[in-house]
Amino acid sequence: MRAVLSGMGVALPPSAVQDELWEGFFARHYAGGRSGLARRIFANSGVVTRQAAVSPLLEDVSSWSTERRMRRYQDEAVPLGRAAVERALADAGLAASELGLFAVCSCTGYATPGLDILLARDMDMSPNVQRLFVGHMGCYAALPGLGTVSDFVTARARPALLLCAELTSLHIQPAGTGAADVQQIVSHALFSDAAAAAVLTPGGAGYAVREIAAVTDTTTAGHMTWEVTDLGFRMGLSPQVPSVLAAHVRALVDDLLGRHRLTIGEVDGWAVHPGGPKILDVVQERLGLDDAALTASREVLSAYGNCSSATVLLEVEALRRRARPPRRIVVLAFGPGLTLYGALLEFSTVAE
């Protein structure tokens, strides 16, 4: 029995134009010696619009304590996550009470009781529903989450739901100096907010989760960090990240596909986490893909920004909603470790 992606739902906070975010907040935030560099980073980010549950155009959170940010996270993430879950369940034609497992991925906020408990309560999930919270894995968290949820569905023959909810807008940092501040500028130019949910069921028509694969290069663990500070969570993002991905991504994809005797040429859908334009360029070059292969990835970056763990689900949803959806989708995501994760999804009918 295969675990099949039978429904998806997306919920987005209010959108803002990248240029307006720059002119209305970040130009002032980075006034002085960093202004020219910051302007170039924002202009070259590949982002045109993105979302913010807590918009810097309305509220400057850069001086907020971590406690204040976490309280606001709960206020914003619960209704956003609920909207995504409701849409995914409706798409799958299921009631919340039918779920056997409810898994939540988030690296941008913590509280207990968390989203898994509060949403299970508010949405009348069964008191017997099993819950899992995946925290601080960063941008690739959706794929180990998807692997765990699909394993549950396969083993227990019960539906499950994965929710990725990220509010990166809560973690704008004070302007500083040095290389670390450049990394903050890059993250402030890219990151965005979103919630995306996926329902998996035993069998049926939809994209079956065929394989999950991962590789971690611990020699580069310091290249990407997400540190809890007194002023929220601070991103560390080395400019060497694309070169590390270049060294590993081809072998990861070849291994992922080779387990099913497939080649890159037999994949007609690609959902590559858009950690930035350079990362997409590196993946495209190492895999030998044409421009059309990464259209969905670049369009998601342009329209939504980097929404951390929710991003690849946004891309899968975009691919499955095409007039001619792909038969096979390879999903790739990257994050702290440095870790690369891949998933193979393949469309199956009820008969299969």
pLDDT in tens, 243-261: 999 999 999 999 999 999 9
Reported confidence tier of residue 348, pLDDT bands at 50, 70, 90: confident
How many whole angstroms separate alpha carbon 348 and alpha carbon 346?
6
**For residue 83, what pLDDT is reported?**
98
Residue 266 has pLDDT above 80, yes or no: yes
* Start-end of H helices in 140-240: 142-156, 178-190
Whether 307 shows a pLDDT value over 70: the answer reads yes
Residue 219 has pLDDT above 60, yes or no: yes
Average pLDDT over residues 334-349: 95
Task: Write the pLDDT tens digit of every residue in 153-186.
Answer: 999 999 999 999 999 999 999 988 776 688 999 9
Contacts of 331 (CB under 8 A, 6+ apart): 143, 271, 272, 312, 315, 316, 342, 343, 344, 345
- Tell me the pLDDT tens digit for each residue of 91-111: 999 999 999 999 999 999 999
The C-alpha atoms of residue 62 and residue 29 are separated, in whole angstroms, by 9
Q: How confident is the model at residue 352 (pLDDT cuts 50, 70, 90)?
A: low
Q: Which domains does the chain have, with CATH numbers?
A: 3-202 (3.40.47.10), 208-348 (3.40.47.10)
Q: What pLDDT is attached to residue 181?
A: 85
CA 93 to chain centre: 24
Run of H or E residues at 5 = strand 3-11
Q: Is the pLDDT of residue 116 over 60?
A: yes
Give the integer Cα–Cα distance in Å for 106 and 143. Answer: 12
The whole-number pLDDT of residue 34 equals 79
Torsion on CA atoms 202, 205, 207, 213, rounded to nearest 10: 30
Distant-in-sequence, close-in-space partners of 27: CB < 8 Å, separation ≥ 6: 35, 38, 39
Average confidence (pLDDT) over 128-136: 96
For the chain, give the mean pLDDT. 96
Q: Which residue in this structure is represented by tokens 């994760």?
A: 341
What whole-number distance in Å separates Cα of residue 154 and Cα of residue 170? 37
**Cis status of the peptide bond prior to 277, with omega within 30 of 0:** no
pLDDT of 272 strictly over 60: yes
Q: pTM score, two decimals? A: 0.96
User: What is the mean predicted confidence (pLDDT) over 193-212?
Assistant: 96
> In this model, does residue 62 exceed pLDDT 60?
yes
User: HEC states along 67-96?
Assistant: HHHHHHHHHHHHHHHHHHHHHHHHHHCCCH
Tens-place pLDDT, residues 77-87: 999 999 999 99
Categorize the per-residue pLDDT at 32 as very low, low, confident or very high, splitting at 50, 70 and 90.
confident
Question: 189: pLDDT confidence band, cut at 50, 70 and 90?
Answer: very high
Catalytic amino acids? 139
Can you say whether residue 178 is alpha, beta or left, with left for phi > 0 and alpha for psi between -120 and 50 degrees? left
Residues in Cβ contact with 58 at an 8 Å cutoff, skipping those fewer than 6 apart: none
Q: Is the CB of residue 206 less than 8 Å from the CB of residue 5?
A: yes
User: What CA–CA distance (Å, rounded) separates 17 from 11?
Assistant: 18
Q: Which amino acid is at 46?
A: G
> What is the pLDDT, as a whole number, of residue 179?
67
Residue 15's pLDDT is 97
The alpha-carbon radius of gyration of the chain (Å, integer) is 19
Percent of the chain with pLDDT over 90: 93
Closest CA to 271 of 248, 297, 290: 297
Residue 121 has pLDDT above 80, yes or no: yes
